[in-house]
Amino acid sequence: MKLGRTGLEVGRLGMAASYGVPMAAFERGVNYLYWGTLRRDAFAQAIRNLAPRRDRMVVVVQSYSRVAGLVGWSLERALSKLRLDQTDILLARHLALSTHHRPLAAQLASDERFGALHVRYNAEHPGAERDVFPLLPAINRPGIVSFTATLPPVVRSKSTT
């Protein structure tokens, strides 16, 4: 399916940097690869392993920088770690916005500078059904990527006492 204004072909599911990218998942269409908050070495290695199939990957790099001058440094560092010459979303080809503030997502949905918007949407946080989805433009919509904003379960070691 096309990811909104970006025109990029993506599967319905993507993976974030907190996990690896199993080859079987990629072969089944999981090609939206999000280098975000928890950047694990296994994820970077998976992207490097998939480099011969770069034309089938959509690589997203997230930046938390509140200082514009540091965004370029952050992006270059990510590209170096991933051994890529560009990302598909952020500064290279398309711009996406990720926010927990649903009114901002709804407001920016009509701004054609953004090819995609990332909004929190899951069973625990269904507010986008009210605050974002009905307010999307009818024509030339941005791609909508939902994230769960959950953490993996904590693994605790057994007590020896």
Domain ranges of the chain: 1-93, 96-150
Q: What is the pLDDT of residue 150?
A: 57
b/e string for 27-36 if b means 16 or more Cβ within 10 A? eeebbbbbbb
Q: What is the pLDDT of residue 161?
A: 41
Q: If pLDDT is split at 50, 70 and 90, which confidence band does 84 have? A: very high
Q: What is the pLDDT of residue 157?
A: 47
pLDDT at 154 over 60: no
Own/partner pairs for 14-22, CB < 8 Å, 24+ apart? 14/58, 14/145, 15/43, 16/43, 16/147, 17/43, 17/44, 18/43, 18/152, 19/43, 20/45, 20/46, 21/46, 21/47, 21/50, 22/46
Q: Taking residues 103-125, what's their average pLDDT?
A: 89
Q: Taking residues 123-152, what's their average pLDDT?
A: 84
pLDDT at 42 over 60: yes
The residue ranking higher by pLDDT, 147 or 141, is 141
Residue with tokens 């514009």: 68
For the whole model, what pTM was predicted? 0.69
Q: Taking residues 74-101, what's their average pLDDT?
A: 87
Q: Phi and psi for 5 in degrees, rounded to 5? A: -70, -15
